[in-house]
C-alpha cells in the first residue's frame, strides 16, 4: 500500500511528537512559537528567541528539531495538515460557499508562515512537494462543490483562486482587519452572478 501525500504530511508531525505529556507540551509550544516567529521575522528568526517564547531551553529545541530545516519542515507540515483537516471539517457544510470561505481564510494565515519558510529554504524538499499536493487535494473539492451549487463562478480554477489569494497576502497591510476586508472584496468577485 502506498502512502498518500496527505498521510505523509500528517505523519511528519505525528512521528516527531513525543509520547510523554510534558515533552509533548514542549514540542507543541516550540511549534507555536516558531510559527509566530517565522510569520513575524521570516526564516531568519532566532532559534534562541523561539525557545525562549516557548518557555524552554535551546537544548530542548534542538532535541526536538536537530536542524533549522527540520523545524521549517515540521512547522510547514503542521500548517498544511491543519488546512487538510479543516477541509474535511467544512466539506459537508450546509452552505458550500461558507465552507470554501472558511478554508480560504485559514489558507491566508498559512501563506504568511509559508512565505517566511520558503524564502529561507533553497530548492524543494520532498516534504514541501508532498505538502503542496496534499493541500491542493484537500482544498479543490471545496471549490468544485461551491461551483456545483452555483455559488462560485464556473470559469474559476483552483489554481486561479490560490494565486489570487496568495497575491493578496503578498503585500503589507495596516492590520489584520484591513487584510480581511481586502480578501472579502476579492471573494465577492468570484461569486456567481446570481449568488452575489
**pLDDT single digits (tens) 37-49:** 988 887 788 999 9
pLDDT tens digit string along 79-132?
A: 889 999 999 999 998 999 999 999 999 988 887 767 666 666 555 678 788 888
CATH at residue 191: 1.10.357.10
pLDDT of residue 122: 54
User: Is residue 65 within 8 Å of residue 58, measured between CB atoms?
Assistant: no
Residue 49, classified by CB atoms within 10 Å of its CB into exposed (0-12), middle (13-18) or buried (19+), is middle
pTM: predicted TM-score of the whole model, two decimal places? 0.82
Domain range enclosing 182: 5-195
pLDDT of residue 38: 85
User: Is residue 113 within 8 Å of residue 67, measured between CB atoms?
Assistant: no
Q: How many domains does the chain have?
A: 1
Of the candidates 103, 122, 24, 39, the one whose C-alpha atom is nearest the C-alpha of residue 76 is 39
Of the candidates 191, 14, 20, the one whose C-alpha atom is nearest the C-alpha of residue 31 is 14
Amino acid at each position: 500500500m502506498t502512502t498518500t501525500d496527505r498521510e505523509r504530511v500528517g505523519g511528519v508531525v505525528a512521528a516527531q511528537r513525543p509520547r510523554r505529556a510534558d515533552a509533548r507540551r514542549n514540542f507543541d509550544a516550540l511549534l507555536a512559537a516558531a510559527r509566530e516567529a517565522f510569520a513575524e521575522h521570516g526564516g531568519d528568526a532566532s532559534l534562541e528567541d523561539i525557545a525562549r517564547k516557548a518557555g524552554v531551553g535551546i537544548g530542548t529545541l534542538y532535541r526536538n528539531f536537530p536542524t533549522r530545516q527540520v523545524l521549517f519542515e515540521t512547522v510547514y507540515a503542521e500548517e498544511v495538515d491543519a488546512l487538510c483537516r479543516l477541509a474535511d471539517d467544512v466539506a459537508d457544510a450546509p452552505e458550500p460557499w461558507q465552507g470554501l470561505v472558511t478554508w480560504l481564510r485559514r489558507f491566508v494565515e498559512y501563506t504568511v508562515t509559508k512565505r517566511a519558510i520558503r524564502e529561507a529554504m533553497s530548492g524543494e524538499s520532498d516534504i514541501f512537494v508532498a505538502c503542496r499536493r496534499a493541500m491542493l487535494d484537500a482544498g479543490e473539492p471545496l471549490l468544485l462543490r461551491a461551483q456545483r451549487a452555483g455559488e462560485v463562478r464556473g470559469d474559476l480554477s483552483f489554481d486561479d483562486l490560490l494565486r489570487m489569494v496568495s497575491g493578496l497576502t503578498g503585500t503589507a497591510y495596516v492590520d489584520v482587519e484591513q487584510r480581511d476586508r481586502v480578501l472579502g472584496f476579492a471573494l465577492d468577485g468570484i461569486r456567481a452572478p446570481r449568488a452575489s
